[in-house]
Structure 1
Amino acid sequence: MSTSTLFSQELWQVRQVTNQAQNHAMDNNQNFSPDDAWIVYDTRPNEGGIGENAIIEKVNVANGKTEVIYKTKNADKHGPGVGAVSYHPKKNEVVFIHGLPPTSQENPYAMHRRLGKIVNESTKKAYWMDSRDIDAPFTAGALRGGTHRHQWSGDGDWLGYTYNDALMYELEEKTGDTYNLRTVGVSARNIKSPKISASTGENFQGEWYSVLVVKVVPNPRPGSGEISKAYSDWWVGEKGYQKPNGSWQRARAFLGDLVTSKGENLTEVFLVDVPEDISVEGDEGPLAGTSTTMPMPPAGATVRRLTFTEGNKYPGVTTEFRHWVTSSMDGAFLSYLAKDNEGIDQVFVIPVNGGTPKQVSFHTSPVQSTVRWHPKKREFAYVCNNQVYVNRVDAAMNPGKSIAVSEVFETAPFAINYSNDGNKIAFNKDVEGRVQIFVAERP
């Protein structure tokens, strides 16, 4: 197959939206407001600097005007820290990471010391999304640590995130054994969070009911499919995926680390079904956890492994740089990055109901970003060769022609995301040492 058959160029209009001498980090979130008039971001000083950041802002896509949505009080180098902000799909409401206040040198911003905060721009109300309770007896519906990179469901009534547990962090520090494992959780708006005891300044009352949905273990048995780390998670579809029997199932896809039957570490693609009622305790143990165990998943949170790549020339999912498994908006397909037979990172797609993955990009240099899907059709965007590309797949996962919609930049675009109408793609790019926001508009 010739190169001309695989690729073409159809340049969209690209313009820089921000110019201020600060960073404007979108962090692979849902950054467009519901009407696509604004893009939301944080102003962290560097990629890992959420703990030092005090401000959540938005920029008007048309005129570049910026507005502060939220600013923390008493911010310093130890925190509290805010970042990784995301817009509700239908309301002028944002969610973001917020470190626990107050902070100090002894208790700074950390993975296990953060919550989700929601700000309603219409009512100006700001509140904690998830509850935090680190005092025994622990509380079902509350968590004990740090929720991170919160993602709205298609209807805006759920949030998914990664999680680290404060009690497990402390137990690992005390014993030297492995307890501090990352996993995946969800919160439901329509299930009221339980009342939390405020016996310490480390407990916080949230409004949504929160649980973990994936059990992780420190030492997976070889070949068992047990998971030691669950991360890079994403909602499946706008309303879940359709099962073979025609019913719809809410679910979250994620990357999971396991150990093969040969004793080798490997990262694969998984999916967990999320039950509508997450308040029912499952067979693994209490939703609230114990002083020596993580909170356990609710009944019906069924995990399914989708990729089995041990026999590939280059097994596993790409882990050389951070990327997320993502879903087409109809819930039919998941996308991820893996190496082809030449050892080059490419886009692969797999059916959510199970099947054989299919390679859908064929570049001679590695794909450089998470794949993002169009909000209404099976079109997806990604970055390769410092350019933004779009392509499509049909019902059989056959790809079309990859189209370069931007020029080749000096530095690679990152954190790409579609507008809600699908006619724009926003992305971050470094400009003279600052992270700026650009928008590519479809002709």
Structure 2
Amino acid sequence: MKQITFAPRHHQLTNINTWTPDSRWLAFDVRPSGASFSGETIERVNVETGEVEVLYRAAHGAHVGVVTVNPRKAQYVFIHGPENPDAAWQYDFHHRRGVVLENALAHNLDAMDITPPFTPGALRGGSHVHVFSPDGEWVSFTYNDHVLHARDPMLDLRNVGVALPFGPVSPPCRHPREYAGQYWCALVSRTTAQPTPGSDEISRAYEEGWVGEDGYRKPDGSVQRRALAFIGDTRSVAGEKIPELFIVDLPSDVADWKRAGDEPLEGTETTMPAPPAGVIQRRLTFTHHRPWPGLATTPRHWVRSNPQGNAIAFLMRDEKGVAQLWMISPNGGDAKQLTSGEGGVASAFNWHPGGKWLGFIQNGCVVLCDVVTGAITPLTPSHSPSGDAVVFSPDGKYVAWMAQKDGFQQLWTVETGH
């Protein structure tokens, strides 16, 4: 394994899309940990030479982080906190935005409008963990709502949204914290503060992932071009929170994204923005009966589809309570357990671009897991890697992760052999 950063400071990888398309550079931020948000720069390092470049530097008291790369070109997107923060408006889940960087020019991804009447295509709060679709055209994100948070924080339910290149969106900007954005944004998940026990209703949607390089094939042979899988918090009959796996099929037509469903796209003063017409939310797992019900939330992970689009991987505990990898079709059905044993899975994970292996941390090692047999191949000796990110290069030849060295989180790579 090879250490590729050495500066006496922290280096933070996002959980996916951290490599440039040519597999030569890794993008990162300089937060001291994934839970903090105090970094001022977005940077990248050449994995061959160790050369580091600053791509973006925040100003006016703002902070930035959680950068991902467009899989098709040198374009970056990341979380940007508010400039000139004050007692009334500081960095928070509902006070942040996406920024797209290309050719050294930065533009807001999403627009913000918190003054009624609200603007369709604009958000009313904070977007975060922005991930380009496999074709580099759309961007998924998770979302928290300022308008409902100000009314009652319990109403500010996390949701999943999509930013589409159908903008720009320019609200009237009647509040000093409002701004325009380059993309049209819409929420695609549907949540409720009090899910009916035993139903498919959810109170939170999060940790999403795009399904397939080109979508997935439905039972009738048709192809769903774009879809997102995510974790949704259901309630058991006894009222316990149980995370389950969900999927949303997304329309391809621009007109569909600008047409409201049964509630306003932009939301109201008392309701969350609603999905456009044609967005279909469907539950994939039904685990309330299991001894350890629900998807595992420790370690934190994001659900991931293989490139072929016929398998979605997620973590769920086995009969001994150990987090293991499972897979299920985007069409639903029975989930298949892939890994077993006391080692389990100790990190977020990703698919190798070839679709034949998954990479993650097990027993302190970066490992490859054969998705047919479940066989584990360690790529590194046991050390103390971070569980936040294990990310393959687009050419599949390398995998990158984070580990402490001399008190600072550094970036490392190793050859995959594939």
The answer for the alignment partner of 2:52 in structure 1 is 66
Distance 1:412 1:286, change over 3 A: closer
Superposition CA RMSD, Å: 1.4
CA distance in 2: counterparts of 1:142 and 1:376, whole angstroms: 37
Per mean C-alpha deviation after superposition, the further-off stretch among 431-440 and 180-189 is 431-440
The answer for the alignment partner of 1:56 in structure 2 is 42
1:367 shift after superposition: 1.1
Q: Normalising by the residue count of structure 2, what TM-score does the alignment of the two structures yield?
A: 0.96
The answer for the alignment partner of 1:153 in structure 2 is 133
1:402 correspondence with 2:376: yes
The answer for the alignment partner of 2:195 in structure 1 is 220
Distance 1:400 1:367, change over 3 A: closer
The answer for the alignment partner of 1:7 in structure 2 is none
CA distance in 1: counterparts of 2:406 and 2:295, whole angstroms: 33
The answer for the alignment partner of 2:233 in structure 1 is 257
CA distance in 2: counterparts of 1:148 and 1:229, whole angstroms: 15
The answer for the alignment partner of 1:117 in structure 2 is 99
CA distance in 2: counterparts of 1:125 and 1:411, whole angstroms: 34
Specify every segment of 5 or more residues in structure 2 that has no aligned partner in the other structure, as ranges: none
CA distance in 2: counterparts of 1:208 and 1:106, whole angstroms: 27
CA distance in 1: counterparts of 2:348 and 2:33, whole angstroms: 20
1:353 shift after superposition: 1.2
The answer for the alignment partner of 1:10 in structure 2 is none
CA distance in 2: counterparts of 1:115 and 1:413, whole angstroms: 25
**Aligned ranges for residues 35-434 of structure 1 at < 5 Å?**
35-50=22-37, 52-75=38-61, 80-120=62-102, 123-172=103-152, 178-189=154-165, 191-249=166-224, 250-276=226-252, 277=254, 278-393=256-371, 398-412=372-386, 414-434=388-408
Distance 1:100 1:412, change over 3 A: closer
The answer for the alignment partner of 2:416 in structure 1 is 442
CA distance in 2: counterparts of 1:330 and 1:440, whole angstroms: 25
Q: Which residue identity lines up with residue 334 of structure 1 in the other structure?
A: I
Q: Which residue identity lines up with residue 364 of structure 1 in the other structure?
A: E
Tell me how many residue pairs correspond in the alignment: 414
Deviations 1:97-153 (A, max 9, x none): 011223124321111011110110xx3221001111111110111111100000000
Deviations 1:38-61 (A, max 9, x none): 0000001233222x2110010010
Is residue 71–residue 135 contact of structure 2 (8 Å, CA) maintained in 1? yes
Is residue 230–residue 255 contact of structure 1 (8 Å, CA) maintained in 2? yes
1:404 shift after superposition: 1.1
Is residue 89–residue 155 contact of structure 1 (8 Å, CA) maintained in 2? yes
Q: Which residue identity lines up with residue 294 of structure 2 in the other structure?
A: G
CA distance in 2: counterparts of 1:315 and 1:215, whole angstroms: 22
Q: Which residue identity lines up with residue 402 of structure 1 in the other structure?
A: I
Is residue 196–residue 235 contact of structure 2 (8 Å, CA) maintained in 1? yes
Deviations 1:23-71 (A, max 9, x none): 1101213110011110000001233222x21100100100111010000
The answer for the alignment partner of 1:6 in structure 2 is none
Q: Which residue identity lines up with residue 359 of structure 2 in the other structure?
A: A
CA distance in 1: counterparts of 2:384 and 2:198, whole angstroms: 44
CA distance in 1: counterparts of 2:230 and 2:147, whole angstroms: 24
Determine helix, strand or coil for the equivalent of 2:175: coil
The answer for the alignment partner of 1:15 in structure 2 is 2
Distance 1:322 1:442, change over 3 A: closer
1:400 shift after superposition: 4.2
1:378 shift after superposition: 2.8
Q: Which residue identity lines up with residue 11 of structure 2 in the other structure?
A: H
Is residue 81–residue 99 contact of structure 1 (8 Å, CA) maintained in 2? yes
CA distance in 1: counterparts of 2:388 and 2:178, whole angstroms: 36
Distance 1:88 1:265, change over 3 A: same
CA distance in 1: counterparts of 2:27 and 2:341, whole angstroms: 32
Is residue 89–residue 152 contact of structure 1 (8 Å, CA) maintained in 2? yes
1:289 shift after superposition: 0.5
Deviations 1:331-367 (A, max 9, x none): 1111111111121111111111111111101131231
Is residue 99–residue 109 contact of structure 1 (8 Å, CA) maintained in 2? yes
Q: Which residue identity lines up with residue 401 of structure 1 in the other structure?
A: A
Q: Which residue identity lines up with residue 200 of structure 1 in the other structure?
A: H
Specify every segment of 5 or more residues in structure 1 that has no aligned partner in the other structure, as ranges: 1-13
Is residue 417–residue 427 contact of structure 1 (8 Å, CA) maintained in 2? yes
Determine helix, strand or coil for the equivalent of 1:192: coil
1:320 shift after superposition: 3.0
Is residue 385–residue 401 contact of structure 2 (8 Å, CA) maintained in 1? no
Distance 1:45 1:410, change over 3 A: closer
CA distance in 2: counterparts of 1:127 and 1:412, whole angstroms: 31
Per mean C-alpha deviation after superposition, the further-off stretch among 433-442 and 415-424 is 433-442
Distance 1:49 1:400, change over 3 A: closer
Q: Which residue identity lines up with residue 319 of structure 1 in the other structure?
A: T
CA distance in 1: counterparts of 2:288 and 2:316, whole angstroms: 12
Is residue 163–residue 185 contact of structure 1 (8 Å, CA) maintained in 2? yes
Q: Which residue identity lines up with residue 208 of structure 1 in the other structure?
A: Y
